[in-house]
Structure 1
């Protein structure tokens, strides 16, 4: 037996805002309901917004998104990832480190792009969980101009595309566009004015910032709310979409896929025994960690309130390195490929060690 639901359902929205650099994507995103920013490129310093610490690793970014979901719509109305193309770079670095590769092209036969697409897909699933929790998710992205040729047409032409995966083997941009409910392309609309009587010479004037809401041969855009094809870059024209009461989906236990790794799997506690990640804190709140520890690992340690001794104990338990070896002296490939890339498993071991410590 299945329950039939009719009529419209007001849910949180999945939004992509993309356009040239400096056109106002972040400023527009800052006007969404009660937003919190994950600023992957450090571009919101001049905006008076709530923001989380800049993620220094792919794992840190995922933990931040999970933390926002746990806070729920009572604390945040929107999650803004600014920008998703810089987030993709963190993903690529994580995949390459996990497989001990210098770059995504080193995999051969396009396998690197497949691994990246799988990781991005899992991340989009996590963001969908944030949406189901009742929080709007807004991804901002830069635009790039590519040469495009349709199979049924003669000749090629230039069009704007999400600046995700510059290589043809990349599958990231289609995944992001398919995931989104709304894709808005933001650009300067220029006007051509004749400068001679015959109208043979023209010059560009104007430059009004415009939101394009529907597909065009020269760009990608879509919406499911009957918006006009073009709108001025003003949040008031789309505010009605996000000011409706949001129906929160029933809570489902999240399932985090295991991270990619090259080292032998570390012994982990069962998922139920791993405690919820603590609130994210800034680096200034915990200054006793060795500043020479690899930055992304140090950020994860701060975020999860993990000490250097606990890292050493977890590593020694698997007999990877001596127990008395300082974390700052760990080989970089081991830190990137195991400790950072497989942080969930490392943290599970640390939690297990904590539970077994006698009072």
Structure 2
């Protein structure tokens, strides 16, 4: 049994939410060496590193696994936004069960399946944290009427803009997972005009809240002030960067050895015939194939012929059937179990469709 004491310095899990257009993506771009998984295409105007826009839940998870396998690519992984990613998750769950919507499962089971899948997603992000890479999840905010059971009346409060019926399950899960939950908003004050007998809003400064309030959710574990300017410099001192460049050690060469190297180089400085090995270009995927499936095929290096052969082995469609002619629900199912499809292609095993 190992017992440790003291502060453990690790990568940070940050959730940042706020209204649309307030600058969440720009703020996230200030984190150390970020790379974006842009689920909604909001980083087009930013000069940042980004992966292809995920068109399926499977593709999103594969991109995260790629970062885990190649931690040298970045110091911060940004999923922008988690509420758009949630819709990919719901589509994936419905495709696997051949359902039209999350409520088709009955008895609220669809929401339970989503909560379990989001839990596995957060576990995958924990593997990113284990590689000393910060993780930032951005989200939109929504106003919801809230009524406390021990008080009379109701009031508005800001919450993560997740599914209307899933927010009571998914939102707490994400907030519990995070080390820091930040709420960005415009600070306004109301001034009463005696002439018009009306109130007028003034201000509009962008600020960020770091602690809980009856009107919003926020938290931090670093003793940050309750209200700080919406600028990365306000939290930069608590965000680690484990990928800072380390000066390379310099090597010294003895002069005698150096002169000997020059002499040997002069003798062997002759052209050497080498055989250039060229890698064949990847086969172009038919643009008529559904984009979520085409994206996975491109990322995995799977050709149309390889996929058609695998599908034909199960007896669903003849090998000569073009992939673009597959039914839409069948394609969605293939996307949802892509890991198994890929394993079957590589190992030539039976594909457990159960479609």
TM class, shorter-length: 0.7 to 0.9
Q: Residue 71 of structure 1: CA displacement?
A: 1.1
Q: Residue 137 of structure 1: CA displacement?
A: 0.4
Matched position secondary structure for 2:348: helix
2:110 to 112, 128, 136: 112
Q: Residue 151 of structure 1: CA displacement?
A: 2.1
Give the 3 Å change call, closer, same or farther, for CA 165–241 of structure 1 in structure 2.
same
Q: Deviations over 1:12-64 (max 9, x none)?
A: 01100001000010000000000000000001000000000000000000000
Once structures 1 and 2 are overlaid, which stretch shifts more, 49-58 or 184-193?
184-193
Q: Residue 201 of structure 1: CA displacement?
A: 4.3
* 1:215 aligned partner: 212
Q: How far, CA to CA, are the matches of 1:118 and 1:341 in structure 2?
A: 15
- Confirm or deny: 8 A CA contact 2:283 2:303 kept in the other structure: no
* 2:44 aligned partner: 45
Q: Residue 160 of structure 1: CA displacement?
A: 0.5
Q: Residue 328 of structure 1: CA displacement?
A: 1.2
Q: Residue 241 of structure 1: CA displacement?
A: 0.9
Q: CA RMSD in A?
A: 1.8
Q: Deviations over 1:219-275 (max 9, x none)?
A: 0000000000000001001001113658xxxxxxxxxxxxxxxxxxxxxxxxxxxxx
Unpaired stretches in structure 1, ≥5 consecutive residues:
247-284, 355-359
Q: How does 1:157-176 map to 2 (within 5 A)?
A: 157-167=155-165, 171-176=169-174
Q: How far, CA to CA, are the matches of 2:328 and 2:166 in structure 1?
A: 31
Matching of residue 239 in structure 1 with residue 239 in structure 2: no
Q: Residue 324 of structure 1: CA displacement?
A: 1.9
Q: Bigger radius of gyration, 1 or 2?
A: 2
Give the 3 Å change call, closer, same or farther, for CA 213–334 of structure 1 in structure 2.
same
Q: Residue 200 of structure 1: CA displacement?
A: 6.3
Give the 3 Å change call, closer, same or farther, for CA 188–40 of structure 1 in structure 2.
same
Q: How far, CA to CA, are the matches of 2:283 and 2:320 in structure 1?
A: 21
Give the 3 Å change call, closer, same or farther, for CA 169–234 of structure 1 in structure 2.
closer
Give the 3 Å change call, closer, same or farther, for CA 234–353 of structure 1 in structure 2.
same
Question: Normalising by the residue count of structure 2, what TM-score does the alignment of the two structures yield?
Answer: 0.84
- Confirm or deny: 8 A CA contact 2:28 2:136 kept in the other structure: yes
- Confirm or deny: 8 A CA contact 2:160 2:167 kept in the other structure: no
- Confirm or deny: 8 A CA contact 2:75 2:242 kept in the other structure: no
Matching of residue 288 in structure 1 with residue 284 in structure 2: yes
Give the 3 Å change call, closer, same or farther, for CA 169–230 of structure 1 in structure 2.
closer
Q: How far, CA to CA, are the matches of 1:47 and 1:53 in structure 2?
A: 15
Q: Residue 318 of structure 1: CA displacement?
A: 2.1
Give the 3 Å change call, closer, same or farther, for CA 245–292 of structure 1 in structure 2.
closer
Once structures 1 and 2 are overlaid, which stretch shifts more, 110-119 or 311-320?
311-320
